[in-house]
Chain A
């Protein structure tokens, strides 16, 4: 176990200002003016500087980051941001992440906003701390604050460096007791403001460097513990028992069937069923041996092959036009040519490398939970709801763990562990199995994109429509903050609370008549569905951009324009255009109207290139894919992916390059191989053969990342935006090579061969 020193935070309660009685959750919910009291820790106030950082007697700085690092390097990047504004060495900064007793709820890994929102908040806190400390030094050393410089936590007089005092001497081990202006929000929208000025980027010394990640060395030496490595005295190992047919619930359970396994027990509460044993392998044996009579269930799902037809004909539950200008119908009527295209994106599992795993120790006086969920504060809220105990009695300790890529099965496994520990009065470790992780994690669900464009007699595009239709992205919430959002909660009777959410990525293409919107259809099974939707990494990226950016290419071809020239003509924002221009330049883009006509297209291997662009928040990206299409086998082989990436200020260039490269590999998998399959009853892709993921043979061997330098612009996010461009860039490259438009993902050899044969 790591060094979880809670005593460091107890000073907050030792001053009168922080002695605040417990607010019950209801009072909290009803309060008209939000209380800064952290619902997960009565000692932490979101409007106090002390909630965000502290400096100890040796000058070490603790930063309290109310979110997590999923392995993308936020621990280092955010420490750099704080060290920069505080003027302390990076090595003196320790990041305390996601611990619900030590941090306030700043969201979680979500929307790639770790640097842009949460890091920026903490920079402001650091700047205020620096200002307070310099003012204090000025008082003590009798000079004006402006006469001081700070270096490595030492404040000295500019003209007389011998007159000096350290941060540790001023504040070491004490609290700041200073206010920040908190915006009254928890989670992703949480932010603070202060009057302390931030540095000019030209003065940065630590931001812009590439220090290495501390977690990586720990992982390399086998020292990094994950939740599955927590072993508590008396801990039991659990396995969840799931039905073979979705919707079936246990009617009776044969206790005799596991009697031969030492210490194995059944936990059966309403529709929730698990086996536990003191030894882990015995829990697996019990899972396999247990005889259960399940209720009849006939989900009658449209299968994965039918799901797009289902989306086309199902009743639309909500239609929202997100952006509109001009009058689309008029534009189409004026057009001399109207072209249209449809694009289908499949269902994907989060398919994490490690199936869900968590340890819970629920006692009469509170619950301690070890988990790597992306949203630990919400996990605490959800467990309080599920177990009906006060929020501040739940302590969630976040740990590094398997990549989750959105709301994977970690949150559900965490809820399972809490229920079991409460029922058994002992610490419980839950480990989901591989088939369970692929079968029962919340899914990134299928979409169909309907696109059309009107072209006038001059060849100008005057009308454009994109409607993306699919399942809401929130059959269950994007975090496990309520009992109803977890499988355990739903199996114990909490009523599901599905929401209609969807979103269309913004693009600065400008057409005289334009309509962009979405339509949702109802969930496939209301309760405890293996196909329930939630956020999967870049939830609105690949499913929609595959359609919108492939269709842009279709229009370009229809008006006889090079795909890059076409984008440069219709995009209006300079940073969008720059990303497209630079990606093309770095790829050595040869201008032509696709498909290429300069080679013998009947030869077996044909090369092509395609581009796709997007904007997400203030991140501007273009990706060029170079592919080889093997006509005989139908294999689409990406040979080189080139990315131009403008994120504004870059905190850690090396980390950023890695983050982008890995996304492009991951995005290739979600383009060429991944697809969840299911029949009328249940998910059928339950292992790594039936749910294929990218192996080395299919990884683009060359990836070029070009970082566009814009230090004057605020830092935006980078953790998931580039991956969404891979499907369209590759689809456009296949069209360039062959003249064939691929209209559905994944580009399996069978599908491509069939498409080429048409």
Chain B
């Protein structure tokens, strides 16, 4: 049974029709809406590549059924800021030249931004803790920590 739904993403409303209510949010964002930021890394909730904010909470969109979203507001990396009005973490991320390939970037930046919101002045161990369940195969871990600490100084 096809269901009609409305998703609020980065402040815009999008109507979609969904055949399978169990379809993960990731596929709605990428396939129905054509958004590229959340990426498929594992589909198992193990890596973070698909992370978006759902009402401000970093969420792995590969493991959340689209039917569970309801009226929640979704923010992708693209919605965090832009070149005109960058999020402080985006500025810091560029300053620190964090990524190699960048395939993992949604997980790290969305977790980092959520941490700064919860705790504008985190300690290094707190940053490491916030990143403890993320994967980056290129080894950018320490650079990501430096970027959050740099952004914290600017917030």
Contacts and interface: CB of A to CB of B under 8 A. Distances in A.
A431 B40 contact: yes
Given A222-B36, A280-B31, A400-B101, A352 B90 contact: no
A219 B105 contact: yes
Contact of B101 (A70, A222, A355, A655): A70
B102 A228 contact: no
A696 B101 contact: no
A226 B99 CA distance: 15
A140 interface: no
B143 A661 contact: yes
A228 B31 CA distance: 11
B102 A400 contact: yes
B94 interface: yes
Contacts of A689: 46
A220 B90 contact: yes
B100 A434 contact: no
A80 to B, nearest CB: 15
Nearest to A719: B100
Interface size class for chain B? 35 or more
B100 A70 contact: yes
B43 A215 contact: no
Contact of A281 (B23, B41, B86, B138): B23
A100 B8 CA distance: 40
Interface string B44-85: 101101000000000000000000000000001110111100
B interface: dominant SS: loop
B3 interface: no
A405 B99 contact: no
A190 interface: no
Given A353-B103, A354-B40, A688-B44, A221 B135 contact: no
Nearest to A663: B139
Given A224-B102, A695-B133, A280 B27 contact: yes
B5 to A, nearest CB: 14
Contacts of A354: 39-41, 49, 103
A212 B131 contact: no
Nearest to A237: B31
B78 A222 contact: yes
A654 interface: yes
Interface string A232-264: 000001000000000000000000000000100
A221 B79 CA distance: 9
B44 to A, nearest CB: 6
A658 B97 CA distance: 8
Interface stretch (A5-13, A53-61, A494-502, A697-705): A697-705
Given A279-B31, A280-B31, A662-B140, A220 B105 contact: yes
B66 to A, nearest CB: 9
A216 interface: yes
Contact of A71 (B42, B44, B93, B138): B138
Nearest to B82: A221
Contact of A222 (B20, B46, B77, B104): B77
A284 B44 CA distance: 13
A664 B94 CA distance: 21
Given A220-B94, A654-B97, A280 B142 contact: no
Contacts of A654: 97
Contacts of A351: 137
B63 to A, nearest CB: 12
B134 interface: yes
A212 B129 CA distance: 28
Contacts of B81: 221
A215 B93 CA distance: 12
Contacts of B129: 696
A280 B28 CA distance: 9
B108 to A, nearest CB: 10
Given A217-B94, A401-B103, A281 B31 contact: yes
Closest 8 CB pairs of A and B: A665-B139, A219-B102, A222-B78, A662-B139, A403-B101, A71-B101, A71-B100, A666-B139
Given A658-B97, A665-B140, 16 more contacts: A71-B100, A216-B102, A221-B77, A282-B19, A403-B100, A403-B101, A654-B97, A658-B143, A661-B143, A664-B139, A665-B141, A666-B138, A687-B44, A689-B46, A694-B141, A695-B135
18 contacts: A71-B99, A221-B90, A222-B78, A222-B80, A226-B103, A284-B43, A285-B20, A353-B101, A353-B103, A403-B103, A662-B138, A665-B140, A665-B142, A666-B137, A689-B46, A696-B128, A699-B139, A703-B142
Interface of A: 70-72, 212-213, 215-217, 219-226, 228-229, 231, 237, 262, 279-282, 284-285, 351-355, 400-403, 405, 431, 433-434, 654-655, 658, 661-666, 669, 687-689, 693-697, 699, 701, 703
